[in-house]
Structure 1
Amino acid sequence: MSASTSTAGTSGPPTPVLSVAPVVLPAPDRAVDLELRVTVPVTGSALPIILLSHGQGPSNHLSSLNGYAPLAGFWAAHGFAVIQPTHLSSATLSLAPDTPGAPMYWRSRAEDMTHILDRLDEIEAAVPQLPGRLDRSRVAVAGHSMGGHTASLLLGARLTDPHDGTEVDLAEPRITAGVLLATTGRGGDALTGFVAENYPFLMTGDFAAMTTPALVVAGDKDASAHLTVRGPDWHTDPYVLAPGPKALLTLFGAEHGLGGISGYDVAETTDENPERVAAVQRLTWAYLRSALYPGDPAWQAACDALAAGSAPVGEVQSK
């Protein structure tokens, strides 16, 4: 599905997808080489790109290029090229706890995405049937939980480096839209004592400069008591505290897994709900479609369909 052949306003029928992993980018200045999964439709040209950042969690493989199949597969089946790195924070790598940047590697995570954009020629060449099919002018980032924090930095959010006190600006101008899924909110007194002590980079998050258009997706039952004392509203901070244009999708009854977006039938999903996952698939696709192709009616059509349902799974606000 190319930009010229997509069905306006609707995701249309799915296209078969091709998924290749690992695509390995040598990275001598990184603890290990950068491994990717690339998932694309088998047909179509001028494919817009979504960089997908994984979260953390108790499982071994969801926090890697092997997670988030419900999102990556859907987006690719409806016209996007999805690139998923395995960040250094992934449990699959089993890096030593004294590795620089451990345990969350917040800076390296964002830098992974910049490396990907710098090396799209290599990525195209490594994936069968992909050379010449990527649209480098249309790039979005999406991330879940800690991946949302990564995405927010690329969209313009700032923080203070807890090691040297400098303001960190990792905004990536090639990224022109984003989706933040069950992402992190503000720091300070919103965090639990454990998080403040062990993940001090979260203490100083500032969304005032996050000007890139983004959709924030939050569950109204996502208390995340291990992270915040503020309850579910904490996950809406990037919408509330960032300047527009922004949209907020609040999912009714959703917890941190948003129905199961990190993998099919995974044990750590506490709110397993295929209908909710389908809504996240459709609405995130529609948002990015309209954000990357101004004038495309997909987002408005998806919002209208959500509101028209007899028992809507959520609601949308925008500013």
Structure 2
Amino acid sequence: MASTEANTRVPAPVVSVRPVVLPAPGRGEDLQVRVSAPVTGHDLPLVVFSHGYGWSMDGYAPLADFWAAQGFVVAQPTHLDSRTLGLPADDPRTPLIWRHRVEDLKRVLDRLDLLEAAVPGLGGRLDRDRVAVAGHSWGAQTASTLLGARVLDSAGVPGEDMSDPRVKAGVLLALPGRGGDDLSPFAAEHFPFMSPSFDGMAAPALIVAGDQDRSALSVRGPDWFTDAYFLSPGDKDLLTLFGAEHALGGVPGYGVAETTDESPERVALVQRLTSAFLRSALHPEDPAWPTACSELKEDPHPLGQVQTR
């Protein structure tokens, strides 16, 4: 398999600081964030990452550490559904956690001065005009909202537009698809917010899906996780990973129990291609993404394929 390593930079040493605590009146808990950054470089782009259900700022090291070593500042907030917080199911905030999640990402963007000051040597090195969001599973749905996706109500009417003009692009890993009749009865009953409209998600985005990702939340098959690519406007890319299930080979963490399709090679491909996409999306003159796509296409034994429109 072609490595596409030509599209990766020499890894920089990385410093991570946790927790950076952001005041969050009305949330019930101040927002805790992990910030990772390369110790060298200037005009560093920012990626704000939303974790999947139950995780925290300490998850997704295969992505966060790699991106930071490739020259990105990575901010990882801990959402209210994190197992580290132990929020009871009957907590009055539970029905609106999806909204709190979106607000968490925006709070990170609102408090970049505090985040910069918390990381030794980061002050003045962040490029605030080059911001992307990313997320996995529920976190991908959270991130998609800042790109223009909206939640439909029970009558199919789009809710509030919570997009953020500061966000220029996104990487959406294992992003849930349409709601309505595509949801399983369990999901329809317990997760009414899982009814997205992608009609307004015009910002550039890379959607990453596993062709063996079968979810109990949907009556459809793995193609459910590709809906955002086909149903949204604007420039979109779809990376379909062959043989991948929901963890996409292990992006939540090395050796974690929920990874049912462990594959270091697949994770390495996700690392390299997402980094290449982010570089080109935030610096359009950078050829990293088209070069990576070309190399993947020429690989005689590829782990996935890319579609672009």
Aligned residue in 1 for 2:3: none
- Give the CA deviation at 1:288: 0.8
Q: Is the 8 A contact 1:97 1:103 kept in 2?
A: no
Tell me the alpha carbon deviations over residues 129-172 of structure 1, each in whole angstroms, 9 at most, x when there is no partner. 11111110000000000000001111000113569x77121101
Instruction: State the 4+ residue runs in structure 1 displaced beyond 6 angstroms.
Output: none
* RMSD value, Cα: 1.6
Q: Is the 8 A contact 1:177 1:291 kept in 2?
A: yes
- Give the CA deviation at 1:127: 1.4
CA distance 1:195–1:86, change in 2 (3 Å): same
Aligned residue in 2 for 1:215: 206
CA distance 1:201–1:239, change in 2 (3 Å): same
Tell me the alpha carbon deviations over residues 1-48 of structure 1, each in whole angstroms, 9 at most, x when there is no partner. xxxxxxxx7222111100110111121221200000000001111110
Aligned counterparts of 1:134 and 1:162: Cα–Cα separation in 2? 41
SS in 1 for 2:129: strand
Aligned counterparts of 2:120 and 2:61: Cα–Cα separation in 1? 20
CA distance 1:131–1:50, change in 2 (3 Å): same
Aligned counterparts of 2:57 and 2:286: Cα–Cα separation in 1? 30
Structure 2 counterparts to residues 47-126 of structure 1, below 5 A: 47-56=44-53, 63-102=55-94, 105-126=97-118
Tell me the alpha carbon deviations over residues 29-77 of structure 1, each in whole angstroms, 9 at most, x when there is no partner. 21200000000001111110000000015xxxxx000100000000000
Structure 2 counterparts to residues 148-163 of structure 1, below 5 A: 148-161=140-153
Aligned residue in 2 for 1:13: 10
CA distance 1:104–1:73, change in 2 (3 Å): farther
- Give the CA deviation at 1:104: 6.7
* 1:307 correspondence with 2:297: yes
Moved more, 78-87 or 126-135: 126-135
Aligned residue in 2 for 1:42: 39
Question: Out of 121, 124, 130, which is 1:129 matched to?
Answer: 121
Aligned residue in 1 for 2:137: 145
Q: Is the 8 A contact 2:158 2:197 kept in 1?
A: no
Aligned residue in 1 for 2:190: 198
- Give the CA deviation at 1:120: 0.3
Q: Is the 8 A contact 1:187 1:205 kept in 2?
A: yes
Once the two structures are aligned, what percentage of the paired residues are identical? 61
Query: TM-score when scaled to structure 2?
Result: 0.95
* 1:278 correspondence with 2:268: yes
Structure 2 counterparts to residues 171-182 of structure 1, below 5 A: 171-182=163-174
Aligned residue in 2 for 1:245: 235
Query: TM-score when scaled to structure 1?
Result: 0.92
Aligned residue in 2 for 1:262: 252
Q: Which runs of 5+ in 2 are unaligned?
A: 1-5
Aligned residue in 2 for 1:167: 159
Aligned residue in 1 for 2:176: 184
SS in 1 for 2:132: strand
* 1:296 correspondence with 2:286: yes
SS in 2 for 1:67: coil
1:24 partner letter: V
Aligned counterparts of 1:161 and 1:174: Cα–Cα separation in 2? 26
SS in 1 for 2:228: helix
Aligned counterparts of 1:157 and 1:111: Cα–Cα separation in 2? 14
Equivalenced residue count is 304
Aligned counterparts of 1:104 and 1:76: Cα–Cα separation in 2? 31
Aligned residue in 1 for 2:219: 229
